[in-house]
Structure 1
Amino acid sequence: MRFHAALVALLLMSGWLVQPAVAANSPPPAAPSTTSGLIGHRALYTLTLATAKSTDVVAARGTMGYEVTDACDGWAVRQRLRMTVTNADGQDIEMASDYTTWESKDGLRFRYHMRQTTDTAVTSQTDGEASLHRTGGTGEAHYTTPHETTIPLPAGTLFPMAHTAAIIAAAREKKHFLSVPLFDGTDENGAEDSFIVILDWKPPMQTKWPALSALPSTRVHLSFFDRKPGSVTPTYEVTMRYWENGVADDMKMDFGDFVMDAKMKEFAPQPRRC
């Protein structure tokens, strides 16, 4: 799960100064052989302001919908985020993003569309498709929006569902860190470096969701970096709990000037769509 799009223009991160060179110099992990442990599901999250770290932000609230469809040969994903941020002048700023993708289950093909708006004006849009080579792990991303271009993808790149599966596999193996390039189509400059701190691997616990209560889970902290020399500040950070089947909840999203809590208020597994 990737929560990047809607407020990317506001991201002024500080405080998690992991050098991206550490991630870039680590040997790229092998792509996970399968994402079969993940499930199709629909979830709705309520967003509330946890911390305002700037006097420019007085209040913030929103909702986020996330839907994963098991389309047999691939995963279809849609993420919709709506947020209202109130500034010090009392002005409400309405921000929204609509992000849809399709990713093949072998992790080699990917299509994406992302559209961001601020007060109904389109502030960012990306469209295109990407592919990875079965050997070597490199690939290409072909953008049709915002302009026609093809960008190479570095060795070890993963697409979002494969990225989720790799995190869960590393947590299950009791690893503490994972670094890997991620391409999700939200950045017109290609792949980003991701650095993941794996905080635990917990046995099943009782929750309000019966489909999750029988599963182990892991709490992780993800940081994302531009693949530029000297970049030491993350473009985005999020802490969340991943259940073994790829469902995420209990999120804390740090946007620099403020931090939002995202609590899952609705959840339902979805059948395969063959």
Structure 2
Amino acid sequence: MRATRLAFHAVLLPALFAVAPAFAVPALQAHRAVYDITLDKASDRSGITGISGRMVYEFNGSPCEGYTVKFRMVTQIVTGDNTRLTDQQTTTFEDAEGKTFSFVTKSFVDQNLDKEVKGTATKETKGLKVDLDKPERNSIELAATQFPTQHLVELIGKAEKGENFYETNLFDGSEDADKVMATTVVVGKKADADKADPEAPALAKLATDKYWPVDIAYFDDTDKSGEEVPEYRISFKLLENGITRDMVMNYGEFSMTGKLVNLSLFDQSKPCPTK
């Protein structure tokens, strides 16, 4: 389950540009968002009868300092007579020029460490080089791509221009950190907030902010079978400042919802110094 990627777009998260970017970078709000996770739908084939949990996403940084994301999602998954507790913890950093992306992810099952993936991805002339430290030292060459914050900044830019459909790609270090994901993005028209929105109390002063409805489908960029079936998709409401809410995470056999229940806004970083 690629929970990290969900956070970056719902999170899942910022493109880093030079001190004097060639185009306007949206003012991404540093924040901590807490979401309640519940089961939306599940097929008989999935065997899942219940999902509950919590996701915490913390975003900090600026276009001159780079961006740090801390993410954790704990879920209790019920399948028949079995109940399993999963815990994924991820920390990432994107440098200020968008050239390197470091990541570490620890996955626990029933409080026992199941997997740890740690490494750094570096953009090179011909593509992306991924140097892994864990689970074992290895170097991987992948196609040219962008990192999570770049993906988010691109999305906000497209939405501002009224572009409602586009395709792009992404590397976020999730799972085994050995793939570039192709994404298909659909952006709806900007909508007014609903005063009766159940997430309004958590949004507080942002409760009246307009939002874009967004749907993103993720495909394995290395899959040449031609089936064109997404590995999963996520839909959410996106604010201009990069905060996401009202998520639906669809894995085909089952889907989960993520509802914002608490939001803390951090002080913004100082403007980048001029040369």
Matches within 5 A, 1:227-246: 227=221, 228-230=223-225, 232-246=228-242
Q: Is 1:45 the equivalent of 2:35?
A: yes
Q: Is 1:195 the equivalent of 2:193?
A: no
Which of residues 257, 261, 265 in structure 1 aligns to 2:261?
265
User: Is the contact between residue 70 and residue 271 of structure 1 (CA under 8 Å) also seen in structure 2?
Assistant: no
Q: Report the counterpart of residue 116 of structure 2 in structure 1.
A: 125
Q: State TM-score, norm by structure 2.
A: 0.80
User: Is the contact between residue 60 and residue 69 of structure 2 (CA under 8 Å) also seen in structure 1?
Assistant: yes
Q: Report the counterpart of residue 14 of structure 2 in structure 1.
A: none
Question: Which letter does structure 1 place at the counterpart of 2:141?
Answer: P
**Deviation at 1:34?**
5.8
- For the residue of structure 2 that corresponds to 1:78, the secondary structure is strand
User: Is the contact between residue 4 and residue 174 of structure 2 (CA under 8 Å) also seen in structure 1?
Assistant: no
Root-mean-square deviation (CA, aligned residues, Å) is 2.6
Give the whole-Å Cα distance in 2 for the aligned partners of 1:132 and 1:47.
34
Q: Which stretch of structure 1 is more off in the superposition, 204-213 or 174-183?
A: 204-213
Could you list the runs of 4 or more consecutive aligned residues of structure 1 that deviate by over 3 angstroms after TM superposition?
5-8, 31-36, 203-208, 213-216
Matched residue pairs, number?
Answer: 246
Where do 5+ consecutive residues of structure 2 fail to align? 7-20, 271-275
User: Is the contact between residue 35 and residue 105 of structure 1 (CA under 8 Å) also seen in structure 2?
Assistant: no
Select the structure with the greater relative contact order (CA < 8 A; seq sep ≥ 6). Answer: 1
Q: Report the counterpart of residue 92 of structure 2 in structure 1.
A: 101
Q: Report the counterpart of residue 73 of structure 1 in structure 2.
A: 65
User: Is the contact between residue 40 and residue 69 of structure 1 (CA under 8 Å) also seen in structure 2?
Assistant: yes
**Deviation at 1:199?**
2.3
Q: Percent identity?
A: 24
User: Is the contact between residue 6 and residue 95 of structure 1 (CA under 8 Å) also seen in structure 2?
Assistant: no
> Structure 1 residues 51, 39: CA separation in 2 closer, same or farther (over 3 Å shift)?
same
**Deviation at 1:257?**
2.6
Q: Is 1:87 the equivalent of 2:79?
A: yes
> Structure 1 residues 190, 103: CA separation in 2 closer, same or farther (over 3 Å shift)?
same
Give the whole-Å Cα distance in 1 for the aligned partners of 2:143 and 2:205.
37
Give the whole-Å Cα distance in 2 for the aligned partners of 1:62 and 1:32.
41
Q: Is 1:218 the equivalent of 2:206?
A: no
User: Is the contact between residue 7 and residue 255 of structure 1 (CA under 8 Å) also seen in structure 2?
Assistant: no
Q: Report the counterpart of residue 26 of structure 1 in structure 2.
A: none
> Structure 1 residues 53, 32: CA separation in 2 closer, same or farther (over 3 Å shift)?
farther
Query: How far does the alpha carbon of each residue in 1:189-214 deviate from its partner, in whole angstroms, 9 at most, with x for none?
Result: 13211111112223566543244246
Query: How far does the alpha carbon of each residue in 1:92-146 deviate from its partner, in whole angstroms, 9 at most, with x for none?
Result: 111110011011233222110111122233333211111224xx68332211122
- For the residue of structure 2 that corresponds to 1:85, the secondary structure is strand
Q: Report the counterpart of residue 148 of structure 2 in structure 1.
A: 160
Query: How far does the alpha carbon of each residue in 1:234-270 deviate from its partner, in whole angstroms, 9 at most, with x for none?
Result: 2221111111111010000112332111100000111
Question: Which letter does structure 2 place at the counterpart of 1:221?
Answer: D
Q: Report the counterpart of residue 173 of structure 1 in structure 2.
A: 161
> Structure 1 residues 103, 32: CA separation in 2 closer, same or farther (over 3 Å shift)?
farther
Which of residues 2, 5, 12 in structure 1 aligns to 2:3?
5
**Deviation at 1:216?**
3.3
- For the residue of structure 1 that corresponds to 2:258, the secondary structure is strand
> Structure 1 residues 7, 181: CA separation in 2 closer, same or farther (over 3 Å shift)?
closer
User: Is the contact between residue 5 and residue 174 of structure 2 (CA under 8 Å) also seen in structure 1?
Assistant: no
Q: Which stretch of structure 1 is more off in the superposition, 109-118 or 207-216?
A: 207-216
Q: Which stretch of structure 1 is more off in the superposition, 33-42 or 185-194?
A: 33-42
Q: State TM-score, norm by structure 1.
A: 0.80
- For the residue of structure 1 that corresponds to 2:108, the secondary structure is strand
Which of residues 224, 245, 251 in structure 2 aligns to 1:249?
245
Q: Report the counterpart of residue 64 of structure 1 in structure 2.
A: 55
- For the residue of structure 1 that corresponds to 2:252, the secondary structure is coil
Give the whole-Å Cα distance in 2 for the aligned partners of 1:242 and 1:7.
15
